Homo-oligomer: A and B are copies of this chain.
Amino acid sequence: MDSESDEAFPASIEAAWGLRERPHKGPKRGLTLQGIVSAAVKVADEEGLDAVSMSRVGAELGSSTMALYRYLATKDELLALMLDTALGPPPPLPEGLGWRRGLESWATSMRAAILAHPWTVRLLAPKGPPATPNQLAWLDQFLRILQDTGLPASAKLATQLLISGHVWSHVSITAAIMLDTDPGSRRRWSAYEPFLRRVTGEGRLPGVRAALDEGAFGEDPHAADRHFAFGLERALDGVEAHIRSLG
């Protein structure tokens, strides 16, 4: 009955939900899943996601590479669990905010949680349905915020897709700039405006050229925050209009 779902979902994800098995036969386990994941998160925080290899994580634990495979079937499982613990659970929501302020807060918290560990950005690309505890907790909070709006459940999910998509895509661009510690590609951003100017010459790409001449590409460092807020407000305006049209 339940044994089928045990097969369909990786054992390590089951384990993350606390569905531990009885203490089996062999020798005592020297490691824990949580310990492995924490070590991997530490490595990612300190040396970047590319430094997270099975051998590097093993070394961090004073263990060997292959020992980890007694806890994880593949590296992808490790990455999924790293994402889950790095994001953490959503912060508790103040009562009585109303759905709009609630979603605003949700999106802002989500953005902050991601940027607290910028390498999570690259792991947010969905590889399957959300299945880890914290990921589902964020989804759950979102759905609860919309509880009393009268939206059908499928519209709630579609709204979550819109808002979290905005957070994700915005944060991806932010991270692409922020994470650029390499001086070579940092130079690329400063060379961007002259590059665009060259490429938009002779009447090519008039839309880009107009934006360029309006100074939209040489913006102040707070432009990212303002763009995030702008998109979020537009999206919420649209949701609000739709909710009103239902009542």
Residues of A within 8 A of B (CB): 2, 4-5, 7-9, 17, 121-122, 125-129, 131, 136-137, 139-144, 147, 152-159, 161-162, 164-166, 168-170, 172-173, 176, 180, 185, 187-192, 194-196, 198-199, 205-208, 210-211, 214-216, 219, 223, 226-227, 230-231, 233-239, 241-242
B153 touches A214 (CB 8 A): yes
Q: Which of B5, B8, B173, B207 contacts A161 (CB 8 A)?
A: B173
- C-alpha gap A239/B241 in the complex (Å): 12
A169 touches B164 (CB 8 A): yes
Whole-angstrom distance between the Cβ of A187 and the nearest chain B Cβ: 5
Q: Which residues of B contact A126 (CB under 8 A)?
A: 172-173, 176
B234 touches A165 (CB 8 A): no
A207 touches B242 (CB 8 A): no
- C-alpha gap A165/B176 in the complex (Å): 15
B234 touches A127 (CB 8 A): no
7 tightest A-B contacts by CB?
A: A165-B169, A143-B207, A8-B191, A234-B238, A238-B238, A153-B216, A237-B238
Whole-angstrom distance between the Cβ of A17 and the nearest chain B Cβ: 6
A140 touches B9 (CB 8 A): no
Q: Which applies to chain A's interface (DSSP): helix, strand, loop or mixed? A: helix
Q: Which residues of B contact A157 (CB under 8 A)?
A: 211, 216, 227
A208 touches B136 (CB 8 A): yes
Q: Known: A125-B125, A158-B226. Contact between A168 and B170, CB under 8 A?
A: no
Q: Considering the complex, give the chain B residue whose CB is closest to the CB of A125.
A: B172
Q: Which residues of B contact A122 (CB under 8 A)?
A: 125
**Interchain residue pairs with CB less than 8 A apart (14):** A9-B191, A121-B125, A126-B172, A128-B185, A128-B188, A136-B199, A136-B208, A147-B207, A154-B214, A155-B230, A157-B211, A162-B231, A165-B166, A168-B169
- C-alpha gap A158/B219 in the complex (Å): 12
B158 touches A2 (CB 8 A): no
Q: Which of B8, B143, B210, B231 contacts A208 (CB 8 A)?
A: B143
Whole-angstrom distance between the Cβ of A157 and the nearest chain B Cβ: 6
B227 touches A136 (CB 8 A): no
B140 touches A205 (CB 8 A): yes
Q: Which residues of B contact A162 (CB under 8 A)?
A: 166, 230-231, 234-235
**Known interface pairs A8-B191, A152-B214; 8 further A-B residue pairs with C-beta atoms within 8 A, sorted by A's residue number:** A5-B191, A128-B188, A129-B189, A136-B196, A158-B231, A159-B230, A161-B231, A165-B169
